[in-house]
């Protein structure tokens, strides 16, 4: 796993030591640096971490990308019929907000 991915995983654990286990996080993948257009700055990411989450009633893929301004972009989505469908994205997340932001994005929608 890359240095950036390892650091992200450690920062999630620092925010909530049991979070990854409680989410049923698995299949951790390092994301490569990218240069693409997007919201909030130059669109350059310095790498990241992606993992699957399997909680009761929630099956999602989470991607956390480090932006060039030292904040994170957190994206959740799911794979349905072999196609990825983005569910939600949050920009400008600091390392202190990482675990709580992911927790909020994974909360099941209740009517």
pLDDT score recorded for residue 35: 78
Task: Say which residue, 94 or 58, is predicted with more confidence.
Answer: 94
pLDDT score recorded for residue 30: 96
Angle of helix 3-15 versus helix 98-106 axis, rounded to 10: 80
Structural domain count of the chain:
1
Does the structure show a pLDDT above 60 at 1? Answer: yes
67 within some domain: yes
Q: Cα–Cα distance between 42 and 62 in angstroms, integer? A: 22
57 within some domain: yes
pLDDT score recorded for residue 110: 40
Structure confidence by residue, pLDDT tens digits, 48-69: 999 999 888 778 999 999 998 9
111 within some domain: no
Cβ partners under 8 Å of residue 21, min gap 6: none
Query: What are the tokens at 82?
Result: 């072999």
Domain extent, residue 43, equals 3-106
pLDDT score recorded for residue 45: 84
Per-residue buried b or exposed e for 38-74, using 16+ beta carbons within 10 Å of the residue's own CB: beeeeeebbbbbbbbbeeeebebbbbbbbbeeebbbb
Cβ partners under 8 Å of residue 7, min gap 6: none
DSSP alpha helix (H) spans, 16-61? 19-23
pLDDT score recorded for residue 85: 87
69 within some domain: yes
Query: 102 by DSSP, 3-state: which?
Result: helix
Does the structure show a pLDDT above 90 at 107? Answer: no
Query: What are the tokens at 1?
Result: 């796993």
Structure confidence by residue, pLDDT tens digits, 3-57: 999 999 999 999 999 999 999 999 999 999 987 655 555 567 899 999 999 888 7
pLDDT score recorded for residue 78: 87
């Amino acid at each position: 796993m890359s240095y950036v991915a390892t650091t992200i995983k450690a920062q999630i654990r620092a925010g909530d030591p049991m979070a990854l286990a409680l989410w049923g996080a698995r299949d951790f993948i390092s994301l490569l640096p990218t240069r693409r257009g997007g919201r909030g700055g130059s669109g350059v990411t310095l790498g990241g971490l992606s993992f699957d989450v399997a909680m009761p009633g929630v099956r999602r893929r989470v991607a956390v990308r480090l932006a060039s301004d030292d904040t994170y972009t957190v994206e959740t989505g799911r794979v349905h019929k072999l196609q990825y469908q983005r569910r939600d994205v949050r920009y400008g997340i600091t390392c202190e907000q990482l675990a709580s932001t992911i927790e909020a994005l994974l909360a099941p929608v209740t009517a």
